[in-house]
Amino acid sequence: MSQIICPISGEILQRSDLLLGFDLSRVHPIFQAKKKLILTPDVIFKFQKAQSWQEKKLYYLAVLNTTELVDFKIPADPFPYIMETTFFDVCTLATWIDYARYGIKERISFPRYLVKEDTKNLANIFSWLSAIHNIRKLYQAKDRENSEKLELSKQSAKIEQEFKWARITGQAFTKHLARWALELADTPPGVFQPWLDILQTPLSEAWCLDVADLLEIKEYFEDTLPLQHDQVIGVMFQIKELIRASRSGYVPDSPEEDFEPEEETFKRVTPREISLKPPRTKVPGFEFVKSETSSDPDEPIYEIPPEPKPKDFPKYFLYLQAKAGWDLLVQEMTGSKRSGEYKQF
């Protein structure tokens, strides 16, 4: 008896009663069909509606064979659960492999799958499919990055103009610049409008913003934007400027970060202590008094008299004279300069 067996599916295509003693091979017609006949949108529907496992196996192996990455040393006999769980992935990857082979200019090295005696059931095909998936994700990321670079290059002139206008208006972001950055980062709809409002805050009003919100936006931009592009570098610089401006009014929640006491601040910013000697400057109409807090009667501390007010003088020029002397006194006793009120007139 002789017969003709498909070397891929193992299906017997023809049997002869003549005892010739030969087992010949010939590929089943489904494996000779063009890819456009096999990789169709309805191939999954045909697989699901197949009446027998033999028919499902032919559909499964036909799609798998279109990848040209499977070497059949012996006919494959996949487990039914393998076919059911991986058929959709096989169809998706087979279509992408066909596109990558002719549509991507860069050469791609794909792993091959060998069907032999211990793998004819395709029980370990999950690892091979996972490797193909990783290659697909890598090149999809490159395609997305190239598309973003092209889009950024087209809008570079417009974005530069928005940066200039933001500096003129005292903002980190104009409305168009903030919207462009959020759209490029594919910001979720739930936070898009709140973040848009935050980014448009003028730098002079940034002290009222919550630093935690700005840091969240900055981290999201770092995770989603192509940081190597010039326009994106500008966006990150602007968000840092907004954070820096907001920290001017930042109140820490942590109890360890207590504010410096007011007395300590005065000592730190005052160049030298108030003189223990009587001041040389005389203020017309005012007398210096010894401080009651002085502990040493031999070296008393002299207090600064109250600041002159126009209502305390019958003539305005007398007020100006007293005000000038009082400012000199403040400068002498504290070591700091203070612009007098008389300079406003």
pLDDT tens figures, 286-326? 555 555 555 555 555 556 677 878 777 777 777 777 888 77
Q: What is the pLDDT of residue 267?
A: 45
The reply to whether 157 and 105 lie within a common domain is: no
Give yes or no: residues 177 and 98 share one domain: no
Calculate the alpha carbon distances from 338 to 82, 137, 266 in Å: 86, 66, 15
Instruction: For residues 15 and 76, state if they share a domain.
Output: yes
Q: Which of 130, 172, 157 lies closest to 231, judged by CA?
A: 157
Together in a domain, 103 and 174: no
- Report how far residue 261's alpha carbon sits from residue 265's, in angstroms, rounded to the nearest whole number: 6
Q: Answer yes or no: do 31 and 68 share one domain.
A: yes
Asked whether residue 14 falls in the same domain as residue 106, the answer is: yes
Let me know if residue 13 belongs to a domain: yes
Residue 160 falls inside a structural domain: yes
Same structural domain, 210 and 117:
no
Q: Are 288 and 334 in contact (CB under 8 A)?
A: no
Structural domain including 66 reads 2-123
**Cβ atoms within 10 Å, residue 101:** 13
- 148 assigned to some structural domain: no
Residue 315: CA count within 13 A, CB half-sphere: 6
Number of domains in the chain: 3
Whether 139 is covered by a domain: the verdict is no
Q: What share of the chain is helix, strand, coil (3-state, %, to 5)?
A: 55, 5, 40
Report, as ranges of residue numbers, the positions in the chain whose pLDDT lies below 70.
1, 18-22, 105-106, 148-149, 151-154, 249-304, 333-345
3-state secondary structure of 184: helix
Instruction: Tell me the per-residue pLDDT of 43-80, one tens digit each, with 9 for 90 and over.
Output: 889 898 888 999 999 999 999 999 999 999 999 999 99
Q: Give percent of the chain with pLDDT exceeding 70.
A: 74
146, part of any domain: no
Q: Does residue 316 lie within any of the structural domains?
A: yes
Can you list the alpha helix ranges (DSSP code H) found in 170-229? 175-184, 189-199, 211-224
pLDDT for residue 122? 92
